Amino acid sequence: MAQITLGTLIRKKLFAPLAHRLVLALETPILIEDLAGEPLIATDGAIEGVRYPVIVQGDTIGWVQGNEKAELLASLLAYHSEREVERKNLGSETLHKYKEITLLYDMADKIPACMERSEIIAILTEQIRQAIRFSGLSVILLDKESGKLEVAASLGNEYALGTVIEPVGIMASVWASGKGEIINDVHADQRFVQRPYRVSSLMCAPLKSKESTVGIIEISSAEPTVYAAEDLKLFSTLASQAAVQMENSVLYLELKNAFYTMVYTLAETIEKRDPYTGNHTKRVMEYSLAVGRTIGMSEDELIRLELAAVLHDIGKIGVRDSVLLKQGKLTDDEFHQIMQHPELGGQILSRIPQLQDIIPGVVQHHERFDGKGYPEGMAGEQINLAARIIAIADTFDAMTTDRPYRRGFSFEEAFEEVRRNSGTQFDPKIVDAFFETDVMEAFFRASANLKLRAAPR
């Protein structure tokens, strides 16, 4: 079933007057009907001749009746309907991806905090220290991949971080039962296994969230101590809270990775359309990040720069293949269409609330330092910093890439060209930073991993 009706096409605001003028220009009686036989356009006078079907993707979506000119008109309508379906499909495919991205980011946003495991353990230790007396503390966590228990924190005892241990004695019982225990006189407990450090009393609890047990925590005292049931209750509650936070942080990282993967997939859809760009996005990203590090950008600024660099040409999704992939000289109109891509990119990203910060980097990447760029003709430091960096990275890569109709510049020639355009096309400060940057290292990094992929953060 074709995803368009002839009525939808004919009633389109831009197409309707054209269709009516076309029918009049044919100077012959014509009747255009939808699939059900409802007239859409009819000239005066008796309509005779053949009823030609308008066929789109193998389905008839309407009819044109008249002489041989009607057959021509039916083909033309079919052609336009096909284009309309293609345009719609491209739009809905892209929209679908935005929706997925927004959903992923929203979910990640709802998880309150993304803390490193070590931060969570540090907070837990401090909370316990404030409430309960102990001289030794160990946190053992389950490594999901290996299924083994590893030492994640160790205070006042001899466990080395990262040591894989097999739970024995009391720890093994707690791990197996999932219930916390107090042993006030360890030497009287048959399960106790001698330790290389002094221990008289201990408390051990599972790090248990609703879903699963992620590890065990144990505190011990070298001197005989009486731990009470309330101590165990508090200790177990704090341990459970930490376990939930640990699970959340894993989930958060997974979502964040999924988000990055989606963003990169979106960028790859552009690359796939133009096979000659061969990994352009990845190189622009690596060059931009390398320059960003040279000028001392913060981690947050680097993340935004990376996303802007990856998505800088996303607006090309709205430029037709016949223009985007044209190998010869572009007409003024075609050039005008290409020049729309930074703003189109901005419009696309404006639908993703979490990507608002990177829009200036995308929209302004074809602005020039001397104000002769597009779309706004902004100048100097008025232009977003990420956009000024991406401008150099993008141009440098375009110059050094072979195209079917011309050989790319050597790196030396391209460096010379960047230098020559300092202060006109490019920000001289960023040009200086570019020359201080190890561009070749960034190039090899981009080449080493040809597929764009999410960088876990």
**Which positions lie near Fe ion, rule CB under 5 A?**
313
C-alpha distances in Å from residue 352, one per residue of 276, 319, 347: 29, 20, 10
CA atoms within 13 A on the CB side of 383: 29
When the beta carbons of 180 and 315 are compared against Fe ion, the nearer one is: 315
State which residue, 231 or 313, has the beta carbon closest to Fe ion: 313
Nearer to Fe ion, 56 or 355 (CB): 355
Shortest Å, Cβ 341 to Fe ion: 6
Provide the 3-class DSSP secondary structure of residue 279: coil
| Interatomic CA distance for residues 373 and 126, integer angstroms | 56
Question: Tokens 């999901």 map to which residue?
Answer: 144
Q: How far is the CB of 345 from Fe ion (least distance, A)?
A: 8
CB of 326 to Fe ion, least distance (A): 16
Integer Cα distance of 136 and 200 in angstroms: 11
Nearer to Fe ion, 335 or 444 (CB): 335
d(CA 69, CA 212): 73
Closest approach, Cβ 313 to Fe ion, in A, equals 5
231 or 397: CB nearest Fe ion: 397
3-class secondary-structure state, position 209? coil
Place of tokens 């001392």: 296
159 versus 426: smaller Cβ distance to Fe ion: 426
β-bridge pairing 201-208 and 59-66:
unpaired
Closer to Fe ion by Cβ: residue 218 or 313: 313
Residue 272, both tokens: 């796939």
Q: Which residue is nearest to Fe ion (CB)?
A: 313
Calpha distance 352→301 (Å, rounded): 18
List Cβ<8 Å contacts ≥24 apart for 396-405: 396/287, 396/434, 396/439, 397/280, 397/283, 397/284, 397/287, 398/280, 401/276, 401/277, 401/278, 401/280, 402/276, 403/276, 404/276, 404/327, 405/327, 405/328
DSSP code of 341? H
Q: Name the residue nearer to Fe ion (CB basis): 56 or 317.
A: 317
Long-range contacts of 407-415 (CB under 8 A, 24+ apart): 411/439, 411/440, 415/439
Pick 216 or 452: Cβ nearer Fe ion = 452
Report the nearest approach of Fe ion to the CB of residue 370 (Å): 18
Residue 432 CB, nearest distance to Fe ion (Å)?
Answer: 23
Parallel/antiparallel/unpaired status of strands 164-165 and 181-183:
unpaired
